Amino acid sequence: MSNSNTFGYPEFFEKQAYPAFERFWKVGNRVLTALNALTLNVGKPKERHHLFIRNLCMMTGMAYSDVALLAGNGCGMAAIKIARTALESAINAEYLRLNPAEDEDYFKWGAVETHRKLEYMRVHLPAAFAKVSPEEVAENDRYKAVRPRFLLPNGKMRRTWCKLNLRERAEKTGFSEMYDAFYAISSELSHASFGGLAQHAESLGDNYWEPAIQPSLEGCAIALNVAHYCAFKAVHTLVQMNEADSSPSILDLKKDYDSAWDSERQGEGAG
């Protein structure tokens, strides 16, 4: 925080973040307007997988807003981590649209996740586990029923709800280029590997480096770009699912994205 009377870094936004990404700020709210119109107060979905898709697209939009807030305040490294959430949500939404029969795996995987949480509590937090309601404990019965669905030939459980890993889902949904360009970067930061540590470096020398101290433009450009792209793709998924255009139109939103992130790189030196 800049001081006790203000939240964030308004001076940084005015003097650095806005000028660096002016074209983005001018159009960025339009995709969120379209996304909200397609997800909020739109009635009961026709099919169950439509509900999952709608909520995944909402998650994409929320992550997009978070990224804009963080990047606007010079927290680019944190914004990259949230942009990864936007990417995974948008990929899963489009994958379920293209493969509606797999919504059963998506839904039933919830029992696996609940079981893992309960088992952790039972072993490591017995006092908290004792307070869990009988209904929640009974979730283990549902886990026993769905477990065979997710077993691999070697008898071990799959690592995720889908037979395809995220990279393969990205290929199936038109996200390959964005995945290849971004996912490794975001993973390095999330896992705090050496590559992630190096991404924080703003000044390099023979025997030292200095991390970028917030607020900084480091990481802001790629985070905003990815989140904007994912929000646009989420709108596109909903347009295809509903068989009706968005407002603003999907064509106009594509023009917005292209105008914000064309070949003339915004925020030179922003990382």
Tens digits of pLDDT across the chain (271 residues)? 555 566 789 999 999 999 999 999 999 999 999 999 999 988 888 899 999 999 999 999 999 999 999 999 999 989 999 999 999 999 999 999 999 999 999 999 999 998 888 889 989 999 998 888 888 777 778 899 999 999 999 999 999 999 999 999 999 999 999 999 998 888 777 766 666 666 666 655 566 666 777 899 989 999 999 999 999 999 999 999 999 999 999 999 999 999 999 854 444 333 3
Q: Which residues of 105-115 are buried (b: 16+ CB within 10 A; e: fewer)?
A: bbebbebbeeb
The C-alpha atoms of residue 228 and residue 116 are separated, in whole angstroms, by 34
Q: Quick one: which of 7, 6, 9 has its CA closest to 18?
A: 9
Instruction: Tell me if the bond preceding 45 is cis, omega within 30° of 0.
Output: no
Two structure tokens written together for 81? 């981590």
H-state helical runs in 17-75: 18-20, 22-39, 48-72
Q: Tell me the whole-structure pTM to 2 decimals.
A: 0.87
Q: What angle do CA 55, 57, 58 make, to 5 degrees?
A: 60
Q: Which helix (H) or strand (E) holds 142?
A: helix 139-146
**Residue labelled with tokens 């993973």:** 187
The C-alpha atoms of residue 255 and residue 253 are separated, in whole angstroms, by 5
Percent of residues in the chain assigned helix, strand, coil, to nearest 5: 70, 5, 25
Residue type for 85, please? T
pLDDT value for 194: 64
Angle at which helices 76-98 and 176-191 pack, to 10 degrees? 130
The C-alpha atoms of residue 150 and residue 165 are separated, in whole angstroms, by 14
Contact 90, 59 (CB under 8 A): no
